[in-house]
Chains A and B, each alone.
Chain A
Amino acid sequence: MRDRHEGLLRSLIDAVAGPGGRLDATARRDLLAGKPLTGALGVFAARVTEDAGSITDEHVATLRSGGVDEESIFDCIVAAATASGLVRLRAALRSMEEAP
């Protein structure tokens, strides 16, 4: 099966996992791989994945007051959201492979 966008997708994933991020790189890679993070940032990332529309100013304020800087919160949002997108893409590609 041909995937014309594979190279650009790889560039996006590499950028989000790469040196331009501010959140710890292991945490970003884990989020991209769909692995849960521990602690308050993990709870927040799960909310981004499951119901981003329910996020309020208070959720972000709680992270800040717990010592998470804004750049890391931004990276967490981007990585968790990208992972949610990848779940959909992979589900479609897998079902295409499985269809005779």
Chain B
Amino acid sequence: MIRLEVVRSGHALKHKLMLGLGRFVIGAMPPDILRILFHRHAFFGKPVGLLTQAVLRGPSDWSVGERELFAAYVSAKNRCRFCAGAHCAVAGRALGRDVVDDAISGQAVNLGAKAKAILPFLEKLTLTPERVAAEDVKVLRAVGISDDAIVDVAYVAMLFSMYNRIVDAVGCETMDSKQVDAVSKMLLEKGYDL
């Protein structure tokens, strides 16, 4: 349960209405993270939504499904059940759930060569960023991953290392299967610019 009363219910009228109507728009109870993003929207939710939309839905060498998989992968490494559950579901819609589950469990047999090569880099960046070195980048370039694509992955690591901590610290409830299904559909179709 959300630990801060101001995040649970202290929203401006516009966002109170959006949260109230959310269950009809989404088709399930709105996820707790919406309460975080709508709380003083201009302070955090709006700017982070714009950045997330650009990173996960903007032009990139990576497909939307691959970027969602990277978000799920970072979240799984950070043991954030809320974010891992949501983004595995979004990635699963795009890539197939088996592909995603295999990648998360360390057996990325059905991924493309570039996506497969980026996962160890993403793990290192997430868990031991101080150990990331030029050698790691050389490995990525050697398999044909462009610098733009590496930057995009670095932003996914940045965003989800941040989201995971906020979600866990604030105390978001893990979504039930109906919420995950509805939210993943909405995120894939509409993205993150709320």
Chain A residues with CB under 8 Å of chain B are 1-5, 8-9, 11-12, 14-16, 18, 20-22, 47-49, 52-53, 55, 57, 60, 70-71, 73-75, 77-78, 80-82, 84-89, 91-96, 98-100
Interface centre among B130, B155, B165 (most CB of A within 10 A): B165
19 A/B residue pairs, CB under 8 Å, sorted by A = A4-B58, A48-B165, A49-B165, A57-B3, A74-B39, A74-B40, A85-B161, A87-B161, A88-B154, A88-B161, A89-B157, A91-B125, A92-B153, A93-B154, A95-B132, A95-B137, A96-B137, A98-B134, A98-B137
Is A89's CB under 8 angstroms from B158's CB? Answer: yes
In the complex, B108 has a CB within 8 A of chain A: no
Distance in Å: Cβ of B193 to nearest Cβ of chain A? 11
Q: Mark B1-35, 1 if CB is under 8 A from A, else 0.
A: 00111110000000000000000000000000000
Interface centre among B42, B134, B141, B148 (most CB of A within 10 A): B134
Taking a contact as CB atoms closer than 8 A, the residue among B44, B129, B141 that contacts A15 in the complex is B44
Is A88's CB under 8 angstroms from B50's CB? Answer: no
A4-B151 contact in complex given A11-B50, A77-B169, C-beta closer than 8 Å: yes
> B42 — which chain A residues lie within 8 A by C-beta?
15, 20
> B97 — which chain A residues lie within 8 A by C-beta?
none
Is B141's CB under 8 angstroms from A99's CB? Answer: yes
Chain B residues with CB under 8 Å of chain A are 3-7, 39-40, 42-44, 46-48, 50-51, 54-55, 58, 78-80, 125-126, 129-130, 132-138, 141, 147-148, 150-151, 153-155, 157-166, 168-171
> A78 — which chain B residues lie within 8 A by C-beta?
43-44, 166
Inter-chain contact total with CB atoms closer than 8 Å: 151
Taking a contact as CB atoms closer than 8 A, the residue among A53, A71, A75, A81 that contacts B162 in the complex is A81
Interface centre among A20, A22, A60, A99 (most CB of B within 10 A): A99
Interface residues of chain A: helix, strand, loop or mixed (majority):
helix
Taking a contact as CB atoms closer than 8 A, the residue among A5, A20, A81, A87 that contacts B155 in the complex is A5
> B132 — which chain A residues lie within 8 A by C-beta?
91-92, 94-95
Q: Closest residue of chain B to A83, judged by CB?
A: B162
Distance in Å: Cβ of B128 to nearest Cβ of chain A? 9
> B159 — which chain A residues lie within 8 A by C-beta?
85
Is A99's CB under 8 angstroms from B138's CB? Answer: yes
Distance in Å: Cβ of B76 to nearest Cβ of chain A? 12
Is A80's CB under 8 angstroms from B50's CB? Answer: no
A5-B151 contact in complex given A53-B80, A81-B169, A100-B134, C-beta closer than 8 Å: yes
Enumerate the 4 nearest inter-chain pairs by beta-carbon distance, A residue then B residue, closest first: A92-B154, A85-B162, A81-B165, A99-B134
> B136 — which chain A residues lie within 8 A by C-beta?
95
A15 vs B40: C-alpha distance in the bound complex, in angstroms? 11
